[in-house]
Structures are given as C-alpha cells and as structure tokens.
A = this chain, B = another copy of it.
C-alpha cells in the first residue's frame, strides 16, 4: 500500500512520476557512485574505466537522464547563460542582433535568455536586476543608451555595476563606460559618408527624423550626417523628434508634409524602420518618393531592399554585431573585429539632375 498503482518494474525512488531522474538514480541503476556517474556524464578530466562508463551511459539512456542545469550551476558556481536585453524583439534591428548572439551562444553551448525593455528605463532597471539573479556569464544590453541619464538610467547603471562587481561581464552598444566592454558601431562615420554621398547626388535640403535628443545612436547618426551633408553644401532644415519606430516616421513625416516640403528635399530617417514609415506617409500624402521627395535611412534591415523604391541606407552588419557582442561576453581577451558600414545607394535617392 506504500506504492499505489505502481507497475511492477517501477523504480522505488521518489520520482516515480513528476520528477526527472537524477544523477543519483543513474548511479544507483548503474551500481556506481555519484562521483563516477558525474564524471561520465557531465564532463570531467578524470578517467573512468570503459566498463563503468558503459554501464553509466546505458543507465542514463534508459532513464532518460539529463543533467539538471540549475543544480550544476549552483554546484559549479557558474551558470551557462547569456542574458540579452533588447528594446523590442519584433524589430528587425534587434531581431538580427539577437540572431547573432544566439549563433555565438550556440557555438559555446550557452543558453541565451532574452528580455524586452520596451524602451522603458524603469523596466530596464527592473529587468537587469532580475537577470542578475540568474548569475549569467554575460549580459548584453542592446537597448538604446542615452547621454544624460535619467534617474531610471542610473538605476540600470547601478544594477549593472553591481553585476559587474561580482564577476559578470556587461557588454553595451556604442560608447560604454571604461569598465564595460562595448561594441562600437561607427554611426558617425557611416552617417557622414551617407551625408556626403547625398550631397554629391545634388541634394541640398534635408529633413531629419531623429529620436529624442540624448539618445546616443540617434545623436551620432544625426551629427555625422550633418557633417557630411554640410561638407557637400547641403543643410538640414528641420530635425523632427520621435523614436526609432515606424510609427514615429509616419507621424514626423506627416507633420512635415503638413508644413510643406518642397520637391527635391531629402528625408533622412535615423533608422530604416523610421524611414519606411516616412515613405508611407509621403505616399499617403500623394507625393512621390524619389524624384519628388527622396528618402534615406540607416541599418539596411532586410525590408529596406523590398520597399519600392528601394531605400538608400547604410548597411550595418547587425547579425555580426550581435555575434561580436557575444564574443565580448565570453572571450578573455577580446578585441572588437572591424564592423564596416557601407553606404548603399538605392532608388529612393535618385539624385537631382542639374
């Protein structure tokens, strides 16, 4: 009566159902000690005789044993996970970065946990704190950093510092603190080249659709573009503010159009997604993209080449960027590999005939 409804050859361990077999179960089944079973199954330098190894492996297979990662983590004092924070995983920008991170993690047999900040600094701080509890080997922060930290930003910073203090490795994008490793995308240079090229195409007046002032990526891209565009004789007439989302491009552009946009103007969206939103607004206003109003963006996300006219942009090797960020979390001595940006001129900026 102590073993209700148990089939005849049931194991008498406590996990008849409901719990996965443990190393203990395997060891007992194989008739060896825990230590030996551990060595066979969960990797160790020390040798185990072939006959024992076989017995253990068979027992494990029979029982469907899988090492309990949490237990391993507590015992080893390190857990095989990389934490990735992104603003929005459905955004292709972050999707591509995540793909790169995942690729790297897979290579190293690490697991990646993903969390979404929704671009909310308070949320971000909360998440970093929660993630700290996982004791991940590395933490990659791919949400947008701002220059002058809000209170919540410094909450995040504090949590990150705390995490780093106890051996965790933080990787951020763009200029990080001296402490943290960071993957640098040369937004400024890429944007400058873009500005130069656009000026060379004959554009002289531009409208920029940027994120809020202080958002580093946006600031850098804007400054770079301005430098390049002005060096070629162009000028940015208006800077509209929003964020990196498509809807932001739609709204800013709609507003700009309402105020009036002269033909031959170039619109520069701080991200392709924004630029594509702007294109949509332009079209909805009955204007033409290209000869009438030209548009360019930044990132070269896949859909940039699928819209019509195809979007002029700066190619950022996002997946590679993600991969680099991953390497930065695990490599003892890491140096960022070159991440070349490349201006890609397409039909959305046909140029102005002289």
For residue A262, CB closer than 8 A to chain B, the reply is no
| Distance to closest chain B CB from A280 (angstroms) | 6
Place the interface of chain A in its size category: 35 or more
- Is A129 an interface position by the 8 A CB rule? yes
Contact between chains at B69 and A133 (CB < 8 Å): yes
A92 lies within 8 A of B92 (CB): yes
Type the 1/0 row for A189-226, where 1 means its CB is closer than 8 Å to any CB of B: 00000000000000000000000000000000000000
Q: Please indicate the chain B residues that have their CB under 8 angstroms from the CB of A19 in the complex.
A: 77, 166-167
Q: Is A90 an interface residue (CB 8 A)?
A: yes
- Do residues B81 and A90 form an inter-chain contact, with CB atoms below 8 A? no
For the complex formed, measure the closest distance between the CB of A157 and the CB atoms of chain B, giving whole angstroms. Answer: 13
Is A175 interfacial (CB-CB < 8 Å)? no
Contact B112 A319 (CB under 8 A): no
Q: Which residue of B lies closest to A84 (CB)?
A: B114
Query: Chain B residues near A90 (CB, 8 Å)?
Result: 92, 95-96, 98-99, 302, 319
> Which residues from B are CB-within-8-Å of A113?
81, 111-114
Write the nearest CB–CB distance from A34 to chain B, whole angstroms.
Answer: 15
In the complex, what residues of B have CB within 8 A of residue A81's CB? 113
Name the residue of chain B whose CB is nearest to the CB of A18: B167
Bound Cα distance A303, B279 (Å): 12
Q: Which residues of B contact A21 (CB under 8 A)?
A: 166
A237-281, CB < 8 A from B: 246, 276, 279-280
A109 CA / B115 CA spacing, docked (Å)? 11
Q: Residue A30 at the B interface, CB < 8 A?
A: no
Instruction: Kindly list chain B residues whose C-beta atoms are within 8 Å of the C-beta of A17.
Output: 165-167
Asked if A111 contacts B89 (CB within 8 A), the reply is: no
Chain A positions 99-114 with a Cβ under 8 Å from a chain B Cβ: 99, 102-103, 106, 109, 111-114
Given known contacts A81-B113, A111-B130, what 17 new A-B pairs fall within 8 Å (CB)?
A18-B166, A19-B167, A70-B79, A74-B74, A88-B99, A89-B89, A89-B98, A90-B95, A91-B95, A102-B116, A103-B116, A106-B115, A111-B115, A111-B134, A112-B113, A276-B306, A307-B308
A-B contact pairs, 26 of them (CB 8 A): A15-B166, A17-B165, A20-B132, A20-B166, A66-B129, A68-B133, A68-B135, A69-B133, A70-B70, A70-B73, A89-B99, A90-B95, A90-B302, A90-B319, A98-B114, A103-B116, A106-B116, A111-B115, A111-B131, A111-B134, A112-B114, A112-B115, A114-B114, A246-B306, A303-B307, A307-B308
